[in-house]
Chain A
Amino acid sequence: MKIALAGGRDETDFLIGLLKEKKHKLIVINENELFCRYLSKTHQIPVFCGDLSKSYVLEDAGIRNADIFLGLCDHDEDNFALCIAAKKIHRVKRAVCVVSNPKNVEIFKSLGIDIVISDMYMIANYILSNTTIEERLTSAFVLSDERVIVSELTVKSGDPAANKKVMNIVMPKQTIICCVMRGEDVIIPNGATQILVGDHIFVISPTEIQADVIAALTEE
């Protein structure tokens, strides 16, 4: 894949190291000359040094039609403008905007940026997914703007799911057991799969019915 990284410091250094291993074609553009030299020397790749606010810099660096463009500058509004330019003018397939203010995640998304990432926003999501009053929930994570949740439950003896085939387990509509972890084994179940005590089951459902799902699958 052709991946462009604009701006940033430690995160750019880290990402280049990571992505190089996977043999991606990397285009790195940065404004600080010393840092450009450092990146070039450390990773043995060409690095473009230029003013990111100039369209010709992005053009000359060759970001046109890139698969992924990453805006990694310090200021959210700079990454925002870069991502809009990357898509509108340079036709990148996906623009990823990193933001430091978590409030900008929703704002930037509503203004047309495909992917907006804020570390604080992700931490908040993690906390919300994993701190419910449900004691039986081992872990959970949300997908798709929090509309879908995957809940991990550990099956205990006495649970309605214990020793039953998936097709015989009574669950709310819109719920599927999508994965079973049994020891080291990963099982993608079908209706005939039997659930055993000790299994970690992953159940996918709309977020708002999570409580019903947990209630249906754990000891009454």
Chain B
Amino acid sequence: MQTVKNERAAIIIGSGRLGTNLALHLNKCGYAVTIIDREDRAFRKLDASFSGFMTVGDAANPEVLEDAGVKKAAYVISVTEKDNTNILVGLIAKKIYNVENVFIRLSDTEKETLVEGTGIKTIFPFKLSMSDFKAQSGIQDTKDTGAIL
């Protein structure tokens, strides 16, 4: 039996700068957002405009994810400080709960191989910084293959 997914439901794990801003952004775009963090003081960054849910808990625990509505969510975005936590949460969301859109933040580009072939989408702050620098400075390598070290 297929669980009906809510196309506009998103769960964000990690309420740091990125997580908070993602939550506010998705909320403004009309998504039902639940944000999970291990500590409740992380939520102070969310301003009064946020109309989603905040949960304190360990997102690597399926019970916490289920309470946050992972069975129906169309998006799970794990952006904690720790790559390993994001990888674990991402794999739980993808492989156990079959969430369609799973995004994780990774600082270490080498860790991408750990989620290769799973359909999990990766965000590398480092890659984005490189793009930003290239765009701002105008220093482009015309033979740039985009290869990452």
Contact = CB atoms under 8 A, between A and B. Distances in A.
Interface of A: 53-55, 75-78, 80-81, 84-85, 88-89, 101, 103-104, 107, 110-111
A55 B110 CA distance: 7
A107 B84 CA distance: 15
Contacts of B114: 81, 84-85, 88
B91 A77 contact: no
Given A110-B95, A110-B96, A77 B61 contact: no
Contacts of B113: 85, 88-89
A77 B95 contact: no
Chain B at the A interface: SS class: helix
Interface of B: 60-62, 82-85, 87-88, 91-92, 95-96, 108, 110-111, 113-114, 116
Contact of A111 (B61, B96, B110, B111): B96
25 contacts: A53-B83, A53-B84, A54-B108, A54-B110, A77-B60, A77-B84, A77-B88, A80-B84, A80-B88, A81-B83, A81-B87, A81-B111, A81-B114, A85-B113, A88-B113, A88-B114, A103-B61, A103-B62, A104-B60, A107-B60, A107-B62, A110-B95, A110-B96, A111-B88, A111-B91
B97 to A, nearest CB: 11
Residues of A contacting B: mostly: helix
Nearest to B117: A88
